[in-house]
Structure 1
Amino acid sequence: MEFNLTAEQELLYKTAREFCDRELIPHEALLEETGDLPVELEIEIRRKGMAVGLHACNMPERIGGAGLDCVSLTLVEKALSRASTALAECVRRPLDILAACEGDQIAHFLEPVMRGEKRECIAMSEPNAGSDLRGMQTRAVRDGSDWVINGTKHFISSAHRSQFVILFAVTGEDQTKPAIRKKISCFLVDLDTPGLVVAKGYKQLGHRGHSNAILHFDNVRIGGGQMVGNEGEGFQLVTDWLGAGRLSVAAVCQARAERAFEVAADFAAQRRQFGQPIGNFQGIGFPLADMAIDIRLGDLLLMNTAWKVDQKYPSVAQDCAMAKVWCSEMLGRVADQAIQTCGGMGLMTDLPLERIYRDARAERIWEGTSEIQRHIISRELMLARRV
């Protein structure tokens, strides 16, 4: 593996990092005070992100995206994710699933997203089906050339700021051994479709300004042309998307850990007790060393996994799972120790550490819990040893 970045990648990271410092981080205080991201601010940030080429940089060039490779995308994700989630997501990285749009879907869904005029959300989780995707109960039933959808989805991020949802629903069953397996399909559904209610979600720990919602489908009728791909291909679409999503979470965690470390290290160098910087004392210096080791390992794992994706390794599911587990759990350790290093000031909102500490807890749950990631890793280990 080549550890040096190309000149283009260096410039890309520098551009995204400077954008974050200039356009995102200054608004964190407003987000923390109000718990809300003003719509006009979101639009302004998105417009500025488009102006510097960061909008939809993950999408293929054939549809107007930058077509960046995985290493470059990971660098952008790291640079922008130093800021609060709600602010970082104003610079849109549309869901890769949309690249599969065909026919009328292109003009109605894909192109407005690429122009920054529409935003999508994704609906998989249900009150009785979280990690068990095939346990979902929301159903889409054929009625002539249409589909009629009934069911409930929850934990739907940013639904109140979106115009349509990428929905996964059961469309039938396949008889397989040892049991019947549900067929899951993917649909694009406008959020103003009759029968679809976007309800207020739950109050959550951390990530202020990043809302969740509950979607209720009551005989929601959509056209047959709103299915993405073929019937029953939804589970594979979810699986492919989750791999990229887990790597994205790892990049977010890596960025936050690096920022927390920088705050703590600067504080340890400047804060003086007993006539010298507190970083000179082993009780402070050694934990800083451990934090630096943790962060270095996370970065190597993250970037190596992104490199494997670009090299088209036959299977990177285990690598993505490892990166998410390590980086999300490492962020928790680093955020905790950063606060300990700064003492009382670490608990104050003058520093970003208490926010990073709060926000860190969700990373071990969404896009697949740490337990699910360990299941993926152990399963791959056993599969590789089967005769």
Structure 2
Amino acid sequence: MAFDFSQTDEQRMLVETVRQFIEKEIFPYEREVDRAGEMPMDLAKQIKSRAKEVGLYAANMPEEVGGGGLDVMSQMLMERELGKCNWALQKFVGRPSAILMACRDEQIEKYLLPTVRGEKMEVFALTEPGAGSDAMSISTRAEADGDDYVLNGGKHFISGIGLPDFAIVFTVTGVDETKRGPRKRVTAFLVDRDTPGFSIRRGPRCVSYRAYDNYELFFDNVRLNKRQILGEEGKGFVLANQWLTGGRVMVAANCCGKAERAMELATDWAATRKQFGQTIGKFQGTSFKLADMATELRAADALVAYTCWKLEQGTMTDADAAMAKLFASEMLGRVTDQAIQIFGGMGLMDELPLEMMWRDARIERIWEGTSEIQRHIISRDMLRAKEQ
């Protein structure tokens, strides 16, 4: 089977548009925002407005709901370029959670369309203090009470910037008996920020993406109508898995963009920095690092492109997505670390963006599923194939 991942004219134009956008609208502010550890809302509004002007906002969403209607490969190319800049700023280019396409009836006008237009912001609330990588261990519960549900529990490590307008909250609404024993029935709800009993606060600051907040959410007898169920009752984890699996591929694309930026910085430094009468790039200790960085990046790009192709064909498996996320995120860690080594002490100085990129790279092996979880998904798929 032959694969052709060459870019179309439209895709090349998209890449150039995103590249120019981040150079003009994001790069000039990212160090200031990182140092402050907070995203100024006037800057956020400016980025969002400019993104809308050039047609980048909500480009991942279908045209029929007002989005840009990008295909999977084009989304990947866009994410790769956006990956070169800090998440706290690129967030406002706007890629709403595709899970919102499960909205129906009045949910479409209340949640989906305003989010696509940039009038509302959502957060994806799955992770809990006692259920990190083991998502099926969530304990937040929504007990049925007539046509309503009463929600109690809490979430943490919920990413976002500025208080969200609503949360997509995953809860336990019952237990089903399966061949493998009892299994929690997980349901997703759309919960407005101003709902009585729902409170939100900023969680601990993270060393990666300092200005990209993480929140703690608390639910104390929050009353929700069944009309606020996203999708079907008991099908929340199916929705979550669809979003997480596709999202992992885009995280991998993001990592490739970050690695390319770090490699370019290191290459420029190696070509100009002189020691012992010659540029340091002429020493094998440096040049071999660059060669390894370029090779690993090329391999990650190829894997991500192949995985996106499978996603577009409808044949991508959980293991495919896990491989892309695992390899690209760990590749990024090695590339940024080697880039620091090539720069030496200067690489760790605040004047350069590299120390920020090095810190930011660390979280990529944790969020959207840790490297260990990705390896579990991959090996489980391999072993199940032998059991059949």
Q: Same fold (TM over 0.5)?
A: yes
Alignment partner, residue 147 of structure 1: 149
> Structure 1: which amino acid aligns with 2:372?
E
Match of 2:80 in 1: 78
- TM-score, normalising length: structure 2: 0.97
1:239-293 alpha-carbon deviations (Å, 9 max, x no partner) = 1011112112111211111100000000000112233211011111111111111
| Corresponding position of 2:265 | 263
CA gap of 1:159–1:209, structure 2 versus 1, over 3 A, is: closer
Once the two structures are superposed, the pairs formed by residues 186-225 of structure 1 within 5 Å of their partners are 186-225=188-227
Would the aligned equivalents of 1:139 and 1:170 in 2 still touch at CA under 8 Å?
Answer: yes
Structure 2 match to 1:118: 120
1:226 maps to which residue? 228
- The aligned counterpart of 2:387 is 386
CA deviation vs aligned residue, 1:71-122 (integer Å, no higher than 9, x gap): 1001111111211110111111000111111111111111111111100001
Partners of 1:178 and 1:114 in 2: CA distance: 40
What code does the residue aligned with 1:150 have? N
Q: 2:136 aligns with which of 134, 137, 143?
A: 134
AA partner of residue 28 (structure 1)? E
Deviation at 1:20, TM superposition (A): 0.9
- Given that 1:258 and 1:295 are in contact with CA atoms closer than 8 Å, whether structure 2 keeps it comes out as yes
Q: Structure 2: which amino acid aligns with 1:14? A: E
Q: Distance in 2 between matches of 1:232 and 1:294?
A: 41
On the 8 A contact 1:160/1:198 being kept in 2, the answer is no
Conserved in 2, the CA contact under 8 Å of 1:159 and 1:213?
no
How far apart, CA to CA, are the structure 1 residues paired with 2:176 and 2:249?
Answer: 31
Which residue in the other structure is 1:338 paired with?
339
Aligned twin of 1:364:
365
Unaligned ranges ≥5, structure 2: none
Kept in 1, the 8 Å contact 2:151–2:219? The answer is yes
Opposite residue 327 of structure 2, the aligned amino acid is W
Q: Deviations over 1:136-174 (max 9, x none)?
A: 110111112111100011001116431100110001110
The corresponding residue for 2:325 is 324
Mapped contact 1:77–1:252 kept (Cα < 8 A):
yes
Q: Distance in 2 between matches of 1:244 and 1:45?
A: 25
Q: Distance in 2 between matches of 1:182 and 1:368?
A: 20
Q: Number of matched residues? A: 386
* 2:311 aligned with 1:309: yes
- 1:182 alignment partner in structure 2: 184
**CA deviation after TM superposition for structure 1 residue 380, in Å:** 1.1
Whole-angstrom distance in 2 between the partners of 1:278 and 1:132: 46
| Contact kept in structure 2, 1:123 and 1:165, CA below 8 Å | yes
- Contact 1:160 1:213 (8 Å CA) reproduced: no
> What is the identity percentage for the equivalent residue pairs of Structure 1 and Structure 2?
51
Give 3-state SS (helix, strand or coil) of 2:387's partner: coil
Secondary structure of residue in 2 paired with 1:65 = coil
Per-residue displacement from partner, 1:331-362 (whole Å, max 9, x unpaired)?
A: 11111110110111111122211111111111
Instruction: Give 2:14's match in structure 1, choosing from 4, 7, 12.
Output: 12
Give the superposition deviation at 1:311: 1.8
Cα drift, residue 199 of structure 1: 1.9
Q: Shift of the alpha carbon at 1:33? A: 2.1
**Amino acid aligned to 1:378:** S
Which residue of structure 2 lines up, in the alignment, with residue 374 of structure 1?
A: 375
Distance 2:174 2:68 in 1: 37
Q: Is the 8 A contact 1:249 1:324 kept in 2?
A: yes
Contact 2:88–2:161 (CA<8 Å) still a contact in 1?
A: no
1:41-71 deviation line (CA, Å, top 9, x unaligned) = 1111011101111111111111111221111
What do residues 159-191 of structure 1 show as CA deviations (whole Å, max 9, x unaligned)?
643110011000111012332111001111101
Contact 2:262-2:357 at 8 Å conserved across structures: yes
Aligned mates of 2:133, 2:302 — CA distance in 1: 28
CA contact (8 A) 2:31 2:353 kept: no
Match of 2:43 among 41, 44, 49: 41
Aligned to 1:87: 89
Residue deviations 1:181-219 (CA, integer Å, cap 9, x gap): 110011111011110010221121221110111101000
| Deviations 1:218-245 (CA, angstroms, capped at 9, x unpaired) | 0011221110111111010011011112
CA distance in 2, matches of 1:200, 1:6: 43
Helix, strand or coil: the match of 2:79? helix
Tell me by how many angstroms 1:385 deviates: 2.5
**1:286 aligned to which of 261, 285, 288:** 288
CA RMSD of aligned residues (A): 1.1
* 1:69 and 2:71 matched: yes
1: distance between equivalents of 2:203 and 2:148?
Answer: 29
Give the Cα–Cα distance (whole angstroms) in 1 for the partners of residues 202 and 214 of structure 2. Answer: 7
Code of the residue aligned with 2:150 in structure 1: it is V
CA separation of 1:159/1:17 partners in 2, compared to 1, >3 Å: closer, same or farther? Answer: closer
The residue number in structure 1 matching 2:277 is: 275
Q: Which amino acid aligns with 2:240?
A: V
Residues 152 and 214 in structure 1, CA contact (< 8 A), matched pair in contact too: yes
